[in-house]
Amino acid sequence: MYEKTEKKLKKLKKELKARLAEIKETLTGTRSKDWEEAAVEAENDEVLEGIYKEASSELAQVKFALKRIKQNEYGECAECGEEINKKRLNIMPYTTLCIQCAQQLEMQHRR
Ligand SMILES: [Zn+2]
């Protein structure tokens, strides 16, 4: 039923993994001796670390979504069990929450 979505998610998973590996390589790469250059690199590292965190949480969501497809639970909100809006699933195929629960969660994070 969700074959297309599954394909999309698997592709996304691959891309995310590749991106994470790339960032990791950059982050663990050799440092410049020059302190000015090193300062710029440290700044870049912070940005990269942010991207890394984002990508790894996205990857976790993708994995979770794939699991839910296997368990025939995909398209249902993991929180309230309501059906997730199809448009939302199209834009964010890895989402496992309906818009209401996602907004609620976001609000909790902000507090
Ligand atoms: Zn919900």
Tens digits of residue pLDDT in 11-40: 999 999 999 999 999 888 766 778 888 888
Assigned superfamily of 3-110: DksA, coiled-coil domain (1.20.120.910)
Q: d(Cα 111, Cα 99) in Å, to the nearest integer?
A: 19
Ligand 1 geometric centre to CA of 57 (Å): 19
Q: Helix and strand tally (H, E) in the chain? A: 4, 0
**Vertex 33, ends 28 and 35: CA angle to 5°?**
100
Ligand 1 geometric centre to CA of 31 (Å): 46
Ligand 1 geometric centre to CA of 47 (Å): 32
Backbone φ, ψ for residue 28 (5° rounding): -95, 5
The secondary structure of residue 76, as a DSSP letter, is B
Ligand 1 geometric centre to CA of 85 (Å): 10
Can you give the pTM of this predicted structure? 0.79
86 vs 29, residue with greater confidence: 86
Burial class (CB in 10 A: 0-12, 13-18, 19+), 17: middle
